[in-house]
């Protein structure tokens, strides 16, 4: 069955370190998204991609970057981790035109920055 996976599931890092969170989908979806989930804020969009070599900033992109070199993967990099980036991160994908835009979510990565 097609799925979307994230790794690691839990990560503890120190302030100032670079961290990369992996997202891999086997849906063959064009669109991929990264969100962070914080209490009282719901899900907020960090970055998204509509295809290989395409990336776009979401509403909370400062301090994060992504790159899309193939259809299956969209890694999220925290350039210099800050305590404010302690959160749960979700990756999602969708099929694009004709798919009614529903997104499929991974299980999440809980990141703690100390």
Give, as one character, the DSSP assignment of residue 91: E
If one asks whether residue 101 binds another protein (CB under 8 A), the answer comes out as yes
Strands 10-13 and 104-105, sheet pairing = unpaired
Q: Could you tell me if 86 and 111 are in contact, meaning their C-beta atoms sit under 8 angstroms apart? A: yes
If one asks whether residue 54 binds another protein (CB under 8 A), the answer comes out as no
Shorter beta-carbon distance to another protein: residue 48 or 64: 48
Q: Could you tell me if 92 and 105 are in contact, meaning their C-beta atoms sit under 8 angstroms apart? A: yes
If one asks whether residue 40 binds another protein (CB under 8 A), the answer comes out as yes
Residues that bind another protein (CB under 8 A): 31, 33, 35, 40-45, 48, 50, 58, 90, 92, 94, 96, 100-108
């Amino acid at each position: 069955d097609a799925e979307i996976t994230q790794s690691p599931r839990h990560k503890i890092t120190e302030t100032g370190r670079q961290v990369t969170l992996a997202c891999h989908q086997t849906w063959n979806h064009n669109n991929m998204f990264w969100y962070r989930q914080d209490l009282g804020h719901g899900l907020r969009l960090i970055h998204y991609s509509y295809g290989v070599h395409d990336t776009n900033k979401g509403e909370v992109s400062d301090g994060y970057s992504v790159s899309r070199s193939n259809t299956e993967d969209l890694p999220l990099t925290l350039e210099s981790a800050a305590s404010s980036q302690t959160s749960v991160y979700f990756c999602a994908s969708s099929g694009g035109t004709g798919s009614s835009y529903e997104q499929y979510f991974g299980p999440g990565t809980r990141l703690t920055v100390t």
